[in-house]
């Protein structure tokens, strides 16, 4: 989160605001850019988590799975699934920040500062933002997870992976587990 927030803050600091760029657009761009940093940080952890989940009993914890993955496939293998993770985070964050900001802005009368919002506004905005994140990005999460645990699937790439999931389970296969 902090890496994403830092990128978001940097993006907002470098974009001129004096009548040229709408603050809402800055929010969308900053949120999307934060997905890049988030994907860099998350990919290795998610790869190890997925390997532990699909190979129960093989690993004696996170460090063992990390060491085993590196010794078996090399250090760069920890970044397997990076591209679909980037797509998930960039697209998901675009919608999360967009929905969050929209809900907050629609819930406050003109001129009322955010810190004076009723107690329910920010949790509602965050919850709806989370639904928007996962609804729009779940297909990429599905491909990422499959790519992280199946070498043949990973060779298909993102587009080929999406097509393979649809071929095997229909469009609903992209959303298996999202209910």
Instruction: State the residue range of the domain holding 15.
Output: 2-138
Q: Give how far Cα 89 sits from Cα of 25, 36, 96, 141, 151, Å.
A: 17, 7, 10, 9, 22
Q: Domain tally for the chain?
A: 1
Q: Residue 111 is part of a domain; what is its CATH number?
A: 1.50.40.10
| Dihedral, 43, 46, 48, 49 alpha carbons, nearest 10 | 180
Question: What angle do helix axes 82-107 and 2-14 make, rounded to 10 degrees?
Answer: 70
In a domain, 72, yes or no: yes
**What's the CA gap between 154 and 157, in Å, rounded?**
6
pLDDT score for 20: 63
Structure tokens at 93: 């964050």
How many residues are recorded in the chain?
Answer: 179
Q: The tokens 């993102």 sit on which residue?
A: 158
User: Residues 118-150, buried b or exposed e (16+ Cβ, 10 A)?
Assistant: eeebbebbeeebeebbbebbbbbbbbbbbbbbe
At 46 the pLDDT is 97
Does the residue 59 lie in any domain?
A: yes
- Residue 151 forms part of a structural domain: no
Output the pLDDT for position 148: 96
Residue 162 lies in a domain: no
Give DSSP secondary structure letters for 108-167: S-TT--GGGS-TTHHHHHHHHHHHHHHHHHHHHHHHHHHHHH-HHHHTTHHHHHHHHHHH
The pLDDT of residue 15: 45
Domain assignment present for residue 125? The answer is yes
Residue 63 counted as domain residue:
yes
179 residues of the chain, pLDDT tens digit each: 555 555 555 555 544 445 566 778 888 888 888 999 999 999 999 999 999 999 989 999 999 999 999 999 999 999 999 999 999 999 999 999 999 999 998 999 888 888 888 999 999 999 999 999 999 999 999 999 999 999 999 999 999 999 999 999 999 999 998 87
**In-domain check, residue 149:** no
In angstroms, rounded to a whole number, what is the distance separating the alpha carbons of residues 107 and 129? 14
> Is 173 a member of any domain?
no
């Amino acid at each position: 989160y902090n890496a994403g927030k830092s990128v978001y803050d940097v993006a907002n600091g470098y974009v001129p605001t004096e009548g040229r760029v709408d603050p809402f657009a800055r929010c969308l761009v900053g949120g999307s850019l934060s997905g890049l940093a988030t994907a860099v940080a998350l990919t290795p952890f998610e790869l190890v988590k997925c390997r532990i989940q699909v190979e129960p009993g093989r690993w004696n914890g996170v460090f063992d799975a990390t060491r085993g993955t590196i010794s078996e496939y090399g250090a760069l293998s920890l970044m397997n699934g990076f591209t679909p993770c980037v797509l998930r985070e960039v697209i998901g964050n675009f919608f999360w920040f967009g929905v969050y900001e929209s809900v907050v802005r629609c819930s406050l009368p003109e001129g009322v500062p955010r810190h004076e919002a009723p107690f329910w506004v920010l949790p509602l905005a965050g919850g709806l933002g989370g639904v928007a994140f996962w609804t729009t990005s779940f297909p990429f999460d599905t491909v990422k997870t499959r790519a992280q645990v199946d070498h043949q699937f990973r060779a298909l790439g993102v587009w080929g992976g999406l097509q393979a999931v649809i071929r095997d389970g229909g469009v609903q296969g992209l959303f298996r587990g999202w209910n």
